[in-house]
Structure formats: structure tokens, C-alpha cells
């Protein structure tokens, strides 16, 4: 697995438990099976491996998590996005909800 480069420039090893933990937090009290979460984490890990890079920005991992959460549960997606994107106003939430609605229509 590639090493993670955080926003401040520090580096750390990829930890699947942290990945799953952040997804579980967003999915708390949502009707999503553990197997579906594990499968999403597997897809994220596979994508990271397939990039063939030694290091990857944590923001890229966050984008992958958001993509998977959008497939699993729209509310979890909004929850994760609110922290990941540092929402500061109701307009930020409104924009994220609009994104979810737009993606749903495209399917």
C-alpha cells in the first residue's frame, strides 16, 4: 500500500482499520450491512494499489471514501462530506445535498 501524505506534509502508513472506522462513523445508525462496508473498503484498497504510487495524498483517499459512501448511503455521504470538506454554513450542506440529488438523477 502507498504511504499517506497528510495536508501538513507528514506521512503515515495506510491503516485499513482507520479507513473502515471513518466509514462506520459516517454510517452510524444507518441500514448498511457490515459486508457492504468491507466490500467498499476492499474497493478503496484495490484502487490505491492499482495506482502504483509509493505515496498518495490523504485528500485522494477521502475522495475515494466519499465515492463509496455515495453508493452505500446518501446520508452517510453527507455526514462524511461535512467533516471532510469542513462545512461552515447551511449552504455547504445544501450544496452537498444537491450533489447527491444530481448524481441520483444521472443514474
Q: Mean pLDDT for each consecutive 10-residue tract of the chain (107 residues)?
A: 93 96 95 96 96 93 93 91 80 81 63
* Angstrom distances, CA of residue 35 to CA of 10, 40, 46: 32, 9, 16
CA atoms within 13 A on the CB side of 24: 9
The CATH number covering residue 12 comes to 1.20.120
Position 81 scores a pLDDT of 86
If one counts the domains in the chain, the total is 1
Position 98 scores a pLDDT of 81
- For residue 31, the enclosing domain spans 3-106
pTM: 0.82
Q: Report the candidate in 26, 15, 11, 8 with the shortest Cα–Cα distance to residue 70.
A: 26
Helix (H) / strand (E) element for 45: namely helix 34-50
CB of 75 within 8 A of CB of 23? no
- C-alpha to C-alpha distance for 77 and 67, rounded to whole angstroms: 8
Amino acid at each position: 500500500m502507498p504511504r499517506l501524505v497528510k495536508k501538513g506534509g507528514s506521512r503515515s502508513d495506510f491503516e485499513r482499520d482507520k479507513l473502515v472506522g471513518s466509514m462506520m462513523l459516517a454510517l452510524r445508525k444507518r441500514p448498511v450491512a457490515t459486508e457492504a462496508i468491507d466490500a467498499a473498503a476492499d474497493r478503496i484498497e484495490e484502487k490505491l494499489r492499482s495506482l502504483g504510487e509509493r505515496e498518495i495524498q490523504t485528500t485522494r483517499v477521502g475522495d475515494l471514501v466519499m465515492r463509496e459512501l455515495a453508493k452505500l448511503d446518501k446520508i452517510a455521504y453527507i455526514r462524511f462530506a461535512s467533516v471532510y470538506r469542513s462545512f461552515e454554513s447551511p449552504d455547504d450542506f445544501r450544496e452537498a445535498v444537491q450533489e447527491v440529488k444530481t448524481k441520483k438523477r444521472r443514474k
